Structure 1
Amino acid sequence: GGSSRYVAEVNGHKVAVQSVDEIYTEMIRTGDFAQYINKNQEDLTDEDRRLLKEQAYTIVESRVLAAQLADKYQIVTTDAEVANAIRSIEFFRDGETGQFDKARYEDYLRQTGTVAAQFENSVRSDLTNQKLVRYLALGAVSGDSRLAELAAIENATGSFELVTINYDQFKGERNPVTLEEIEQLYELKKSELITDNRVKLAYIHIKADDYLDQVEISDEAIKQGIAQLETRTFDRIEIAATSDAEKEAALSALNSVYDEIASGELSFEKAAESDAVKAVNGHLVAKETIKLGAIGDAAFDAVLFDLDLNAPLSKPFATDTGVYMLSLTGVKNVMGSGIDVTSMVRNQLAEPLVADLYYAAQEKFEKLAEIYRDDLESIANELGAEVITTDWLSLDQKEGVLENDEFYSSVAYLDLANTPVVSAPFAPGENEGALVKVIEFDANHAMTLDEAKPLLTEVIKRNKLRMAMAIELDQLKDKAESGAVNLETYAKEQGYDFFALNDLVARYMDPSALNSIAFEALMASYYEQPVAPYMMLHDGAEGIALVNVKAFKAGSIDDYSAIERQEKRGLLQNDQANYELNAIFEDFKSRSKVKRLANPFMQ
């Protein structure tokens, strides 16, 4: 019978419409529905929404069955375990204390529009599945036969020589492609020759960095910012003085030696020992290193951090703490060498101002998109941005700007059959905003002979080239096996790549140390486990390799340490347990009694 509260009975358990509604609402809110229906939310028809509700029901039904299966195996996930799991989620922890922050958790629920019970049920389901896998892993048989198979490859050792030829290196004859060959291949393959889905786009793309030039930072602010990153080493002559008369006498004494120091006639150290300075109790403080603000005297800092090594001597000056003359001897930047500190500081100072400009532009962008919709030129003019247009781009190959996942998704989920069509504003990256318009759409179709010619020409060229390269390496193989040719010498003479690899262990093989052809060839030889010595040809994606297997030994379980053997068995058991869990679930589902109930929500 029908009910307004329930949508189904699964093995006697009534499935509430609320649980389906929660999943359906989440799909619509987050845009996850796009993986099932290729449309914008505003374009969803009643039938589309009915299908999405069915998908939401399927998810809920699977969760109910999983919970019932867990009950069958007497696996229970307690409220305390759910709470502990949530508290352990890094995102919900305080950045300073590392403790669970309830406010962060509640903010997340509020911002995502998620009901606490819904989130907790999702965590409970994940924990239950993990327990099921662990339970089945305890009984999973991972005998030494499976471990031995793994060890035979992972622990295999060998010594190899390789000569590799990529297609660009080959120096042999390259035979031309005839029209007859193209036509023959077209007839053979035309059922497989399909064009890509293609689009022509116009789009607006704004970034926070675009607003950097609009921000003015004063030289003084930059100078102060740089000073914050510096430590300065200096000598100083210091005279204690508090009254105006004492300060005037001290300044007079230092001024009497200033010109001699500046001209180089008198050293800074000797000046401190002069009769004039001694008379006012002046003394030298040498090789002091400080950061800005360390002394706590702003007037002192202003003089010290205004000096540079080209003009290291300060004029005598008075502050509330005394009378001084400084000689700068060293400047060190905490950022180290090789960094443009001026640009770095300017950008740091500009960042909050740029962010304000960008956020204002982003807000304006979204409003303009609502007003003008598909009129990108008007939007761009008011934003001070530009409209960028593209030639044909392959949607299937994610060409050009479509390489960005957000751009691709924003285009792929539009109703491309009704171009021109415009996306909603989206963020292709951090502090970036974009809007894309599909101007034209060319749906995939069977290629004509003319459309297929460029592709087929390259295929035939590559096949002919591959054949010629294989013949050359096959001849080289015969000569090398007879001892008539040395592989390394031959490779050097022909300009091919040569690798000599001794005592290589399969699981420690470094792909980055070899070119792709050599690595493919080595992996192929390991899996073939040949009897050495042996030579083999390997036809790879980028070229062809001749592999000389000088020595080879299959690995064994004994090559693993005791800890490694335990870890490998655990991984194999988990693989087996996951496989068994899927099989058990599907069997349980097929035997379950599911009764759908008429409910207006699902219509």
Structure 2
Amino acid sequence: MLMDIREKIRGWLAYVIVGLISIPFALWGVGEYLGGGRDTLVAEVEGEEITARQLDQAFSERRQQLIAQSERQITAEMIEQMGLKRQVLDQMINERLLVQFIREQGYVVPDGLVAATIRGISAFQRDGQFDREAYERRLGQQGLSVEQFENDIRRDLLFNTLDNALVGSAFVTAPEVRQLVALRDQSREVGLVRIDRGAVAAGIDNPDQTTLKAYYDDRVEAFQRPEQVKLAYIEITPEKLAASQEISDAALHSAYEDYRDRQADEAVRRARHILIQLPGDADAATVDSARERLETAREAIESGEATFEEKATELSDDGSTRDSGGDLGRVGEGEIAASFDRAVAALGEGEISEPVRTRFGWHLIQVYEVGQAEVPPLEEARGELMEQLKREAAESTYYEAAEQLASVSYEQPDSLVPAAEAVGLEIETSDWISRKRGDGIGERRAVREAAFEEAVLEERFNSQLVELDNSHAVVLRVEEHREAQPLPFEDVRDQVVAQWRAEQVEAAIAELAEAIESDLAAGKEPAERVAEVDAASWTPAQWVGLGDANDEMPAEALSAAFGLTPPGEQAVSAATTQLSDGDTAVVVLRGVRAGEPAELDAETRNLLAGQLESNQANRLIDAFMRSLRVEADVEIRERAFD
């Protein structure tokens, strides 16, 4: 396979290979942590070392990337469950193997191509031309040297040489597209027997005292106060370290100069607008009519028939600016919409835009003033700059302080006081924490696990440094401990009743669902079977696709239906599934109908073929990377990695 790839590699292509390989190459190679860190060897790839510091940096950036992209909170426990650190290490190993492979084939990137690529990056341009000063300043703000950045560009360009060999070799046949359509557009005739949990529960009488007591006695371990501890701990974050950071006058003045230069580069635009609002479900005619009204207004303004302010007062749906002629004042980026920002940035003083569409509707925009940002004097900016500098200083010293905290707490394991004094942090305390739950710091699973380690719990030693999140760790010790203790029946009677009833309901539902499935398999009609049960209802069978979920046919039921084997000679196939609202459903499948490729237009067919080619290319890339790993000498130091 490698010989075939060597024969096919050719040309420079855009950055496809990076995304397809799913390796965030940008996470590595952008310099080392400020303030030092560990340099323990984690892995060797054909003699090339990967250190703990490099891995920590790549892991930290990847974690921050996930947090920024996710719509829900990403916790340290979730990161651990994902095995993210191991994934990042594998990606770093793969990257080095790719670099070594390409270089072995003799491919190099001409200096001219690197220079042209950098000159084409808009962040380094001023008035459309490459600006060396802006280039060096931007790199400095990111903690990069020119040499580091150019090496990163050269490396990324090298990766593109694999694109023709792998992506270009993927192809898809017409039968494969037809097969995909038959599966993708498959429909199924599905009915639903819904078992109402509330109705089942209402039919179960409360147990007598004897039954409850016997149930409690058989499960007394489930009704007890768990083993618990109270902790003393030192929590370390850049925010906690910031207060103790000392900033020199020289550093403050330097930061102010950088701040003043950045502000000087930013033009301030003041604008006014006319808004024609559109409802979310507006049809094409309504959308076109609103745009035409603004185009007519624009013509009137430019011809001198009316001023922008007059048309804004007459037409605008923005009640907050209409009476002031549409005046928005200074327009900051991100205040309205990206399309609005782009239009404002493109206008010179006095110019009027074409109609601009945002989620609010159509806008007509006029920039009436373009000026430079006002730079406040140092004394006014001092507070904000000092806060920023302290935060940056704390971030750069975090790893050194964390290592010091870990070292002192280990060397003097009987107290947290020396460690707290060494790093200038306070000792805090927790409430009672069990192995499974706690409040505050006890919400963290890593904290609970550390608290109940033998050396911490039994010997009362300080814990090791427990990493919680990016730049967030803790060292703890057990201050108080109490064993698990059964709670008296009288104190937990309500809890016993609730658990007993929950088990009875679950058993009754499972028994009913099994009986219904059995009767349907024997040929009984669902509607007839449901009529015999007060707690069940029948949704008649209908032809649906996998994406046709609704209130009557929930997504969980559709997923179960599309996982069923077609009924064949049997009248139906059936399966029981749990619905998100707590009810249980017996899903009934009557028939399956394949998607019809002939109904697709050429554009959709080509789109599907492209998706299949992309999937095939991913498989080729995966096989290629596996072959590199098999042939390479890769050693992972598991102990250092853990």
TM-score interval w.r.t. the shorter chain?
0.3 to 0.5
> Which entry has the higher C-alpha Rg, 1 or 2?
1
TM-score normalised by L of structure 1 = 0.45
